[in-house]
Amino acid sequence: MNCDKYRSAMDKLEAEEEWKEKLADAMKRRAGQQPQKAWRMQLAAGCACVFVLLVAVLLWRNPVALQTAENTAAQAAGQAGEPETAGQPVASAEAAAATADVFAAEGAPEEAGSGAETEETEGQSEKQDTRMQERIGESAEEPQQTADAGTVESSGQASSQTVENSSVTEGNGQSGSAPNVFTVRVEDRELVSEMGRVYRRDHRNLELDTEEKQELYRSKYVGEVGTGEEFAGNYPEGSKVYEISGYKAGSGYIVVSPDGESEAVELVEVPEAENYTFEQAAGCYTEEEDSVYTVCLYEEDGGVSVVNDLDLLAQLDSISEAAPLEDAQVGNGVQAALYFSDGGRAAAAFDLDDGTVELLGNTYRLPEGFPQKMEKAKKETKSFSEVTGSPSGVTMMRITASDGSSVEIKDPAAAQKAVDSLLKSPEWLGKYYVLGKTGFCGNSEFTELGKIEITHSGGKLELTFTQIDSSMVSVFVRGDGAEEGAYSPYHGRITAQEWTDFLTYAEGLSQR
């Protein structure tokens, strides 16, 4: 047996006694050094704590301190709390109020804000306002990004925006801490986060055509789109940004404009991805070392090829350690989505003529023979009776709806008739692809409609019906003997109307 040979090969890999002795000696020496090291670490940590505490107290007493420390000695005097009022007007109430709000949002005592109100000059106020923006910018860089783009905002506007963001954050259960605002801006119809990650609109199958779907897909609120001229025509100021339910954080967002329109965007580029291996690029969409379960190819004719072939997809893993191709052309392939077992989804593109796949702005060489196998898999279709094996001797059919209610056809003749109606009508499945032994998985965007269990002379069949989009329903067929934990062995497509018609038909049979 091969696994016995593997075991006996590994048995011969023993840790040598000499190495073990050296290792143990080194470890023991290290153990002797540990207390001294721990003592030093504790001392260093103590000093650091005292220093941080001192700085915090200084800043708390006078937030201008840090700013002025970089300037003149006269400003340094300002750090000590001496008012510089000569020849300078008093700060505006608006800026002071904003300051107080910001302090309140950050959980500092109110008297700090009121102290600033009475003592500040305008010069200091401007600096302080800037400082406030910077402090907010530490977690949300919106004001700075706007300034970078050349848009001038008054301090009052910036502050009020900040306060608004703070309140939204508090509403999400993070009150008392610095507002954790996710600021995004749009460039050339792409959404760019403050970390330089680029997102593009999802033009594939994540259709947010109903309010229920929008609600279903939205998970954590992460912030809102800021203001500025460069945003015109794309996402309106104040659009809310949410993570997509089921996706890895940061790999996709839903943007909801103030008028309620929703749009999904997905990660297509990260600044540091130039040297990413295929696996590292995939890691931006899924947990480490997860594998692709399904590939959806979005054909030019509007059709979707669903590739589930287990062996074919295993080949994708063989390029996991591959480095990106240099000077490769990008943007030529067929748009695709890679689905991972943990629910993650990655935007990709396959150029089967060139034998490459594009992921996260990098292009990778596909394994030898992969493009040909994929082309073949795309074209392969089977009838529903082929997929299910045309079960005969049907004794029972049970249809379970998504709400748990079920209809059971116990009369063998009626059950067989219902099954035959599934198998014999060539139009019933419509245009579909059967490409492999697994079904969709990990797709948070698909809603399960119901299940059909068929007991027949050869065993059992389980068909799962899942709504893919507004008109299409996906069918997964799972027979006896399917590997535990494996997903449905076959996949097909029908229309939503056909599914409803069948339910009505089956219900009629059940009432016989």
Q: Which position has the token pair 């009432």?
A: 511
Q: Which is nearer to another protein, 138 or 321 (CB)?
A: 321
User: Which of 9, 86, 93, 152 lies at the binding interface for another protein (CB under 8 A)?
Assistant: 9
Q: Is 6 in the site for another protein (CB under 8 A)?
A: yes
Q: What is the β-pairing status of strands 472-479 and 459-467?
A: antiparallel
- Mapped onto helix, strand or coil, the DSSP state of residue 464 is strand
Placement of tokens 């291996």 in the chain: 277
Residues with Cβ < 8 Å from 189, sequence gap 6 or more? 200, 201, 234
Residue 335 to residue 442: CA distance in whole angstroms: 19
Closer Cβ to another protein, 274 or 353, answer by number: 274
CB of 27 to another protein, least distance (A): 4
Q: Which stretch binds another protein (CB under 8 A): 25-33, 173-181, 219-227, 261-269?
A: 25-33
CB nearer another protein, residue 67 or residue 308 = 308
Contact (Cβ atoms closer than 8 angstroms) between residue 191 and residue 255: yes
Strands (E), 426-489: 447-456, 459-467, 472-479
Judged by CB under 8 A, which stretch of 184-192, 216-224, 289-297, 371-379 contacts another protein? Answer: 289-297
Q: Is 211 in the site for another protein (CB under 8 A)?
A: no
Q: What string marks each residue from 314 to 333 as x (binds another protein by CB under 8 A) or -?
A: x--xx-xx-x----------
**20 or 61: whose CB is closer to another protein?**
20
45 touches another protein by CB under 8 A: no
Rounded to a whole number of angstroms, the minimum distance from the CB of residue 310 to another protein is 7
Euclidean distance between CA atoms 169 and 222, whole angstroms? 9
Q: How many residues sit close enough to another protein to count as binding (CB under 8 A)?
A: 50
Q: Is 26 in the site for another protein (CB under 8 A)?
A: yes
CB of 20 to another protein, least distance (A): 5
For residue 414, CA distances in Å to 386, 390, 465 come to 22, 16, 21
Length reported for the chain: 512
Our finding on whether 1 is near another protein (CB under 8 A) is yes
Q: With respect to another protein, which residue has the nearer C-beta, 288 or 327?
A: 288
Q: Does 311 bind another protein (CB under 8 A)?
A: yes
Q: Note whether 64 and 79 are within 8 A (CB).
A: yes
What whole-number distance in Å separates Cα of residue 452 and Cα of residue 499? 11
Of 56, 54, 180, 68, nearest in space to 128 by CA: 68
Bridge partners, residue 186, by sequence? 191
Residues at the site binding another protein, with contacts judged by CB under 8 A: 1-3, 5-10, 12-15, 19-20, 23-24, 26-28, 30-31, 34-35, 275, 277, 279-280, 287-291, 293, 310-311, 313-314, 317-318, 320-321, 323, 341-342, 441, 483-486
